[in-house]
Structure 1
Amino acid sequence: MRFWIFFLFLLLASQVRAQDSLRLTRQQADSLFLKNNLLLLAERFRIDISKAQILQASLRDNPTATIEFSAFNNQTNRVVDVGRGGEKIISVQQLLYTAGKRNKRIALATEAARLTELELLDLLRGLRFELRSRFYAIYFQHQTLARYDRQISTIQITVTAYEHEYERNNVSLRELLRLKALLFQLNNDRTEIRFQLAEDQRTIRTLLAVNQPIRPLVRNDALTRYRIPTQPDDSLWQLALRNRPDLLASQSLNRQAELNYTLQRALARPDLRVGGTYDQNGSYIANYVGLSVGMDLPVFNRNQGAIQAARSQIGYQNQVQKQRVMQITNEVVTALQKVRDVEQMVQSVEGRFTEQFELLNQGVLTSFQKGNISLLEFVDLIETYNESVRQLNRLKADRVNAYEELNYFIGDDLFN
């Protein structure tokens, strides 16, 4: 009865742990990321702000109205005399922009809104790369930890058996301590991996805005989808130059500089102020109605400094854009080289190499128990196997990361 109660407790505990983890495929993680990520949600408010600024730029100035009246009539001794014999002056003025200033402001605000959208796309590009890198890193860390857990369990049983044999004086203390040192090293390595796993879990949970640990679900076809692109390198460069939102943002800044230059030149031209005036008794005739037109005379301030600054800003943005084009080209070249290097490395160690190591690992413990290999050979083979497993899974994670980095630098999903 106690055995069955204990078994039921373990089963329930394992189910609780399984429910605590959020199991996701990469596509599900992408969807949850787009739905929940707080930075993306906050960035969408900036887009609303920029659209509101377009609306504000399109609004015309309000007319200005003034009224002047007699505070005290010293002939009639009346205060605030606005009757027939009093005095009041009413004037209304409207500012009229010249040289198309209003349309130029609208065009500048529209381009600024487009820049905000491009910045959102660039943020999305960077966060998606971070999400996928952490997703696959966590997956391969779980693969490594599963191997370590099985290995540690086996070594723990061997250490326990050696302790019993040591008590019977059948093995030496040196042999027992060597096995315990191996077990300690394996536990230490596992703890190091778990620390890195915890950091990756923290990052991916923040990206997905969830509290549960993420358990990646990865099928083989999801990994084989990553292949070296068949397109020529120059076509990938051109694809990056068309797609990269940071380059498009640089072009938008260049366009804004040009629009601002035309606006500053237009601001050098004075605007008109058109208005009408009604004067009850203060003019040469009673009930005077007049029309007024005013403008600033561009004698001293012709907006020279702002025009010169806007012209220099165009030159600055042109140079920044050229530098960005060169940077993007070099990034794509480097990413392609990394993909080819890591693919070559993975292909050289996968397949036959991993099969041989698995066969070796399965036979090591049996050979050691039968006395076919010495303790030193056993420890050396176990350490070599575990380190190889760790490095191989890290290499597989680096492989996926290299392909996702290529996606990031090109600004497109080549392996979806």
Structure 2
Amino acid sequence: MAQKYIIAFLIFCLHSSLHAQEFNSDKPLEITDLEGMFLERNYQLLVAKYQIDQADAQILQSKLFPNPRFGIDEANLWSNPSSERLPYLFGPYGSRQQISLELEQLIETAGKRKKRIALKQLEKNTALLDVEETLISLRLDLRNTFISLQKLTAQEVEVRQMVDYLTRLKEQYTRQSKLQTISKVDYYRVQSALITWKEQLTNLTDEQIQKLSRLRLYTQQPLELAHLALSTKRLHNLSLRVPMDLMEIALYNHPAIKQSANDLSISHAELAIEKAERIPDITFQVSYDRGGNIMRDFVGVGISVDLPLFHKNQGHIKAAQIGIKREQEKRVGLAFELNNNLQLLTRQLNLYEKELLDYTNGSPDDFKNMIDTYAQNLTNNQVTLMEFIDFSESYIAARRAYLELQERYYHTFEELQYRIGKDL
């Protein structure tokens, strides 16, 4: 089981790293490139991987046998007149020296050691699943950050165009206001509109900086907007990529469900260990006694075992059985919650997709052309200043609504992929 997780994880890392580009490449970085950098450099992911090494160390520890116990007893540092004379230990020393040596070895019964090894291997699976969960959750946030940055960049282009045009218009109206060829009201109206649009531009720039900082954190690279391929190309019909057996795929792939199944296996393993603890362990003994009995040099063997008279580990066994029931209920609840989330996300995806079909996907060039046309009409007095400002505000508001809906559409699809634990 653990090897399967490791192989799947390494294949994913290899596949993603194939798309990684060097940071100093002339080619703008796509989201796949950022994911490659994320896999190679993200400190949260690297730290999470150390859990696997710790789990391997715990498995190694569980395979070790208990150490034998050696004791020295009844060693006299002096003698009294009633002592017998014994053969010398070495040289002229030890004729009245008594000593007892004992060697003990604990032998575990009922396969306790093998059961502990099996438990530690399941705990290693937990570490692997934690890494997988960390990976896909951070990758989800990375992708959503990139999507949001695309939206902000598209908004920023149009708002900046409006700020540039109003700046020129303000300069023009400043000159005309001094010549008194236009009213002060129009001049202040242009000035107020410019301030409002500059504030929007500042807010967008601030959000871009925050999103870019988040991408830097994930990739550990000093990224700038110029390094990124922030395409505004629209993705169509994402709902068609959603399979019919969505729930079955999610139950097989989602880390939380796999973790729940592994936790249930851990509970069963803990119950097996607690039941094995009912059977007492055996301690074998080998002892040597010099001058302490009727034999001058006595070697004997012995055995000791606890008598299960007062308890047979009933409390721990009951607690482990309750743990199994708890994990079973938890798994049922997680499956229901997952199914509910998948239904919600699928409905939202279809809803957003349907709404996007009603929008006309304009572009910055379209906006620039319309602004130029309205500006020419404003110069020719075919439209008023208020009509020009109202049009630009309405158009950009509609574009903002479209881009935000598109952002929610893409975020929903990424959330759906996260919930099923694989890319569609």
Written as runs of structure 1 = structure 2, the 5 A alignment for 1:14-53 is 23-53=28-58
1:70 and 2:80 equivalent?
A: no
Following the alignment from structure 2 to structure 1, what is the Cα–Cα distance between the partners of residues 341 and 53? 33
Corresponding residue number in structure 2 for 1:83:
94
Contact 1:99 1:269 in 2 (8 A): yes
Describe the superposition over 1:271-304 as per-residue Cα deviations: whole angstroms up to 9, x where unpaired: 0000100111112212111111001111113211
TM superposition shift of 1:74: 1.4
2:342–2:419 contact (8 Å) kept in structure 1 = yes
Please say if residues 239 and 349 of structure 2, whose CA atoms lie closer than 8 Å, have aligned partners that are also in contact.
Answer: yes
Q: 1:56 aligned to 2:68?
A: no
Matches within 5 A, 1:196-207: 196-207=207-218
Aligned to 1:129, which of 133, 140, 143?
A: 140
Is 1:365–2:370 an aligned residue pair?
no
Q: CA deviation at 1:150?
A: 1.6
> Retained in 1: the 8 A contact 2:345–2:416?
yes
Q: What is aligned with 1:209? A: 220
Amino acid at match of 2:294: Y
TM-score (norm. length: structure 2): 0.87
Preserved contact between residue 97 and residue 271 of structure 1 (Cα < 8 Å):
yes
Whether the 8 Å contact between 1:37 and 1:209 is mirrored in structure 2 is yes
- Percentage identity across aligned positions? 23
Q: How far 1:123 moved relative to its partner? A: 1.0
Shift of 1:212: 3.2
1:110 is aligned, of 117, 121, 124, to 121
Separation in structure 2 between the aligned mates of residue 231 and residue 389 of structure 1, nearest angstrom: 28
SS of alignment partner, residue 115 of structure 1: helix
Counterpart secondary structure, 1:349? coil
Q: 1:301 to 1:213 in 2, by over 3 A?
A: farther
* Shift of residue 315, structure 1, vs aligned partner: 0.6
Is the 1:335–1:409 contact (alpha carbons within 8 Å) kept by the matching residues of 2? no
| Conserved 8 A contact 2:161-2:368 | no
Aligned partner (choices 249, 256, 263) of residue 259 of structure 2: 249
Specify which of 366, 389, 402 is matched with residue 399 of structure 2: 389
Match of 1:151 among 124, 146, 162: 162
Q: TM-score, normalised by structure 1?
A: 0.89
1:26 offset after TM fit, Å? 0.7
Do the aligned residues in 1 keep the contact of 2:215 with 2:223 (CA within 8 Å)? Answer: no
Q: Which 5+ residue runs of structure 2 have no aligned equivalent?
A: 1-22
2:240 aligned with 1:229: yes
Deviates more, 1:106-115 or 1:206-215: 206-215
What code does the residue aligned with 1:39 have? Q
Query: Cα offset for 1:354?
Result: 9.3
Shift of 1:85: 3.7
SS class of match (1:24): coil
CA distance in 2 between partners of 1:226 and 1:285 (Å): 94
Task: Using the TM superposition, give the Cα deviation of residue 96 of structure 1 relative to its aligned residue in structure 2, in angstroms.
Answer: 0.3
Deviations 1:222-245 (A, max 9, x none): x53772235554x01110110001
How big is the alpha-carbon RMSD for the aligned residues of Structure 1 and Structure 2? 2.6
